[in-house]
Amino acid sequence: MKFKQIYSKILLRGAHYDQPKLSLLRIREVLHRLGDPDSSFKSVIIAGTNGKTSTARILESILRSFGFRTGLYTSPHLISITERISVNGNPISKKQFVKIYKQIIPIVEEYEEELAENGEHAGTLNFFELLTVMAVFAFATENVHFAVVEVGLGGRFDATNVLNSSICIITSIDYDHTQYLGSQLTQIAFEKAGIIKNADAVIVAKQVQAAEEVLLDEAEKQEIRAVFLQNRDFEALDDSAVAQNSLGEIMNIRTTRGVYENLYLNLLGDYQVSNAALSILAAEELIAQDGRMLEYGPLKDALQGVTSPGRLQVLSFEPLIVVDVSHNPQGAKVMVNSFHATFEFDHIIGVVGILADKDAEKMFEFYEDLFDCVVVTKNSSERSCSAKQLQQLALKHFDSSDVHKKSNLKHAVDFALDLVDDMHDAKVAVLITGSAVTAGDALEYLQKSKNLKLVEC
């Protein structure tokens, strides 16, 4: 089988929360039959609503800079599914993806046949479970020291929670996936808190008090020896700022062990400074387990080299084109604030595509504070809102003359760039956002453009 055939077969397995009985038993059994590959490396698990991917990427970069061989498992992908599994800073190739699949699938299918014979119709591993098995198998095969693993959805019953983590990180918690995790913030926090088990330490980003209390209760039940809270035990100091003439942030981070000053983070957005604080503290704890200190030189190098595609990512300067994966109201709010703090433009055009299960109406409330006009569209996902639905929402916040509807992302981007051309000497920016799918569609399309000079990543 070739890569495209395998990708299609994996997609047919369905979403990871679509099954009636949520359980980690299937993935645990498969990993056991594969020889318990998860026992060959240490893991860091990262849960939360926003900031998981960037935090994971920053932490992985730091650990690699200190000489550790690393694995990185993130989701969703922007262009290729192979982006989700990286070893030592590089996504696995399509050839490696195919090889891993062929190595594990006989064991997976044999187990699934046994379940079917016993009448367990929900016994098939779903899309995310199978990918998680592939990631774990890849990390064991590649002899990584640490795997930095991003939770897919929730935590308690997420496939990644099969791993026993040395460190648990929980980024900010807000409302998202409420149809699966619950409509109350405490319910959502309870599901995220499910990753707190058998860990040496738990690191918690700034939270709403109700969510923080749930996390602390769970840490106490699990008898975690060390719990670190942002703004109590560690923080990004207020004098952190956007670096001049650059695409990053200059920051100062305080931890329990000291202050790291004048660090350059190669990511835009003040929220990335907060993500970096989480990552630096986690790296301190992990490196201390190895009997070492977090030295300034390797840390500085790691932060200068980190990337997080699709997170307030500048694709072009002439004109300014930025893509951002923010896909829920909290993410939209943070993105808007960070864009305002980073850029100054006369006119900002938003290209927006949002998935149907998101609170698009609330997201437009924040877009209103940033965009002068919007081009609404449908992205390539089957779960995408239609352009017409988004148009109706946009008209509640923008004048009709400032709302434009296009049938697909390609047409929407082209139209936005035509608007830029029509404004001649005005200082105009284009921001493409609303979903990881939207950002990925834009990246894939614009990378093929012959009319733009794109920024090298």
DSSP string of 360-420, one letter each residue: HHHHHHHHTTT-SEEEE---SSTTBPPHHHHHHHHTTTS-GGGEEE-SSHHHHHHHHHHHH
- Pair 374, 287 in one domain: no
- Pair 252, 355 in one domain: no
- Pair 206, 274 in one domain: yes
Name the token pair of 253.
């981070």
Residue 323 domain-assigned (yes or no): yes
- Res 324: pLDDT: 97
Domain extent at residue 9: 3-305
- Pair 335, 397 in one domain: yes
- Res 121: pLDDT: 60
Domain boundary among 305, 329, 354: 305
Q: Which amino acid, 185?
A: L
Q: Output the domain CATH number for residue 152.
A: 3.40.1190.10
For the chain, 457 residues long, the average pLDDT of each consecutive 10-residue run is 94 69 87 98 96 97 97 96 97 98 97 85 84 98 98 94 95 87 92 93 96 97 95 86 70 93 92 95 94 94 95 92 95 94 92 95 96 97 95 97 96 96 87 97 89 72
- Res 23: pLDDT: 83
- Res 450: pLDDT: 67
- Res 124: pLDDT: 84
- Pair 225, 279 in one domain: yes
- Res 457: pLDDT: 59
- Pair 243, 390 in one domain: no
Element (H, E) at 274: helix 270-289
Residue 190 domain-assigned (yes or no): yes
The beta-carbon contacts of 296-300 under 8 Å, at least 24 apart in sequence, are 296/260, 298/62, 298/65, 298/66, 299/62, 299/65, 299/260, 299/263, 300/263, 300/264
- Pair 293, 324 in one domain: no
Say how many domains are in the chain: 2
Q: Output the domain CATH number for residue 367.
A: 3.90.190.20
Distance of CA 109 to the CA centre of its chain: 30
What backbone phi and psi angles, to 5 degrees, belong to 154?
Answer: 75, -115
- Pair 90, 67 in one domain: yes
Residue 120 domain-assigned (yes or no): yes
- Pair 320, 423 in one domain: yes
How big is the chain, counted in residues?
457
- Pair 78, 218 in one domain: yes
Residue 457 domain-assigned (yes or no): no
- Pair 318, 273 in one domain: no
Q: Which amino acid, 320?
A: L
Residue 455 domain-assigned (yes or no): no
Residue 8 domain-assigned (yes or no): yes
Domain boundary among 260, 276, 305: 305
Domain boundary among 305, 332, 354: 305
CB 170, CB 203: distance < 8 Å:
yes
- Pair 278, 380 in one domain: no
Residue 454 domain-assigned (yes or no): no
- Res 1: pLDDT: 83
Residue 13 domain-assigned (yes or no): yes
